[in-house]
Every structure is written in C-alpha cells, then in structure tokens.
Amino acid sequence: MKKFMTSDELARDDRFTRTPVPLDFLMAEEVTVEQVEETMNMLLSNNEMREMMEEQGGASGNLFKRVRPTDDEAPLFIKTQMHGIFMGEMQALEAAGRSAWDFTDDKELPWAFQLDMARQCWDETRHVEIYSALLDHVDARIGQFPENLFLFEFGCSNDPAERVVGVNRCLEGLALDVFNDTIRFGKQAEDETIWRSVDYVSADEVTHVRFGSVWSRALTENDPKRRKKVLDFQRKVDRAFSLGGLRGSYDGANVEGFLPLAVEFRKLAGFSDADIAEVAGAAPKIVKA
C-alpha cells in the first residue's frame, strides 16, 4: 500500500464536491474582511459548487455572525456545521490511518506509536458514524456542502513528530473549539441529541490531543533543533487553521465572529515581538480595508 498520500489522492465517491485549498489565504500574515469574502467567492467559482450553495441559501452569510437557534440562519448554520464536522472527522480518520501506516519502516518509532494511532482511527470511525447520524438529525445529507481538504493538507507532514503535532494538536485542537461552539448551540436550542452527542465525541478528542503532546515531546527529546523545527511547523499549521483569522478573531471588524473560541469574547489579534508569543498569535490579524 502506498505511503505518504497527498490530499488530492483521498478517496471520495461522487456524492462529494471539493473546493481548492486556498493556500495563500490560509498562510497570510494579515487579511482584510473583504479578502475573506473574496476567498469565499473564489471557492465558489466552480459553477457546480456555486449552484450547490445557492440552493442552500448562500455560503458565507454566517461568517461574521454568531448564529443562535432563534435566528433565521439557524437551520442552515447547523447543517453546514454538522457537515463541516463530518468532513473533518473523515479527514482526521484518514490522517490517523496514514500516521499508523506511513511510518511503519521507521525504526525510531515504538510499537506504542502505531497502537495510539490505531486507537485514534477506531475513535474517528465512530465519530464519522455519529456525525452521519447527526446529519440525518438536522435534516442534511452527506455531500450536501462542498469539502475542503485543508485539514489533511496542512496536518500531514512526512515527519512523524510534525505529523502528530499537525494532526493531533492542531487539527484535534480545532475540533475541540468547534465542538464547544456546537455544544453551546445545542444547549441553546434545547436539542439534547446534538449537545450530548458532541460532548461524547469531545471526550475522545482530548485523548487524541494528548497523543500529540506525548509523542511530539518523545520524538524530539534531546534534540532541540528538531523540537524547534516541530514548533515552527505547529505555528504554521495553527495559522492555517485559524481560517484567515476568522477562527476566534477578536477585533471590531469581526465582533460576532462565526467561530468563537469556546468563550464569548474576542481577542486583539496580532503578534508580540517575542518568538514565544508568536505561537499565541497564530491567527493572522483581520483588519478593516
């Protein structure tokens, strides 16, 4: 079986439509609100995709607003949210599966590494099934919205230490954020099926993040050069996963950010001078044009 697959080699049937990974946008130091919208339009430049989204009632209407169950956009929001998480779980399953297989020739890696990755695959498989059922629950269907493979694309490095950081820390960390938001929505909507299911899945994500922390530390022990390289990789992936600053962006341009970071507040975006604070400032700054 082939090792080290690229994101465009991932198997999907004809229910799925893909959007291109907006690499420049995701790696930008600073983006404007207009650029965010332009990027969304770029993603929708594909006719099939545009029609698909128009049919759903728009693609970016929820970007700058925190949707509540009583809002008109709520039904569409929860459908896109569930579909996005479903696709994220698929990619996490594929990424964990690759981690279990890609490094089998690496003598440095103990058997316990493969076991942990296999355990994650088992969890992710359950998550895919749970979110598939939740899609039914919110009256959505698999493939109803386009998929973007940036999670797999950025998370999967060919270095095992970087891989566990990208997939287990950054990707699964993003999942924890998104799940918190979904649990909040479910509780507000008094939809026990949603919030209990997502809470159940959340507990597994904690374990996956811990795998990332344990293995990234173990694989770079006594090797400061490699550890720094891995930390740099984490900053890069965290920046990409901040979705151009939309994820937990905090300034006035985006007071009602569409993906709040687990709590209702907004952080001043930006970076401090110290290298270490650069980790904290992984999200690019959103500025008003």
Q: Are 62 and 252 in contact (CB under 8 A)?
A: no
Determine, following the binding rule CB under 8 A, whether residue 265 of this chain makes contact with other proteins.
Answer: yes
Determine, following the binding rule CB under 8 A, whether residue 177 of this chain makes contact with other proteins.
Answer: yes
Which residue of 28, 93, 117, 209 would you call a contact of other proteins, by CB under 8 A?
A: 209
The contact pattern for other proteins, residues 128-167, with x = CB under 8 A and - = no contact, is: ----------------------------------------
Which residue of 202, 229, 232, 287 would you call a contact of other proteins, by CB under 8 A?
A: 202
Smaller CB separation from other proteins, 117 or 261: 261
Part of the chain binding other proteins (CB under 8 A), chosen from 43-51, 104-112, 119-127, 176-184:
176-184
Smaller CB separation from other proteins, 67 or 261: 261
Burial of 50 (0-12, 13-18, 19+ CB in 10 A): middle
Please give, one letter per residue, the 3-state secondary structure of 189-213.
Answer: CCCHHHHHHHHHHHHHHHHHHHHHH
Residues in the chain: 289
Residue 229 and residue 216: Cα distance in Å, rounded?
11
60: nearest Cα among 240, 195, 237, 259:
259
Determine, following the binding rule CB under 8 A, whether residue 172 of this chain makes contact with other proteins.
Answer: yes
Residues 6+ apart with CB under 8 A from 100: 114, 117, 118, 121
Residue 96 and residue 236: Cα distance in Å, rounded?
20
Q: Are 239 and 282 in contact (CB under 8 A)?
A: yes
Determine, following the binding rule CB under 8 A, whether residue 46 of this chain makes contact with other proteins.
Answer: no
Which residue of 127, 163, 169, 236 would you call a contact of other proteins, by CB under 8 A?
A: 169
Q: How many helices (H) and strands (E) does the chain have?
A: 11, 4
The contact pattern for other proteins, residues 59-98, with x = CB under 8 A and - = no contact, is: ----------------------------------------
Q: What is the CA radius of gyration of the chain?
A: 19
Q: Are 93 and 167 in contact (CB under 8 A)?
A: no
Which residue of 216, 246, 257, 258 would you call a contact of other proteins, by CB under 8 A?
A: 216
Q: Residue 242: helix, strand or coil by DSSP?
A: coil
Say which DSSP state 32 is in: E
Determine, following the binding rule CB under 8 A, whether residue 196 of this chain makes contact with other proteins.
Answer: no
Smaller CB separation from other proteins, 13 or 273: 273
Which residue of 183, 250, 257, 286 would you call a contact of other proteins, by CB under 8 A?
A: 250
Residues 6+ apart with CB under 8 A from 187: 195
Part of the chain binding other proteins (CB under 8 A), chosen from 10-18, 56-64, 122-130, 215-223:
215-223
Interacting residue ranges for other proteins, rule: CB under 8 A:
169-170, 172-173, 176-177, 180, 202, 205-206, 209-210, 212-213, 216-217, 220, 224, 227-228, 231, 234, 238, 248, 250, 261-263, 265-268, 270, 272, 276-277, 279-283
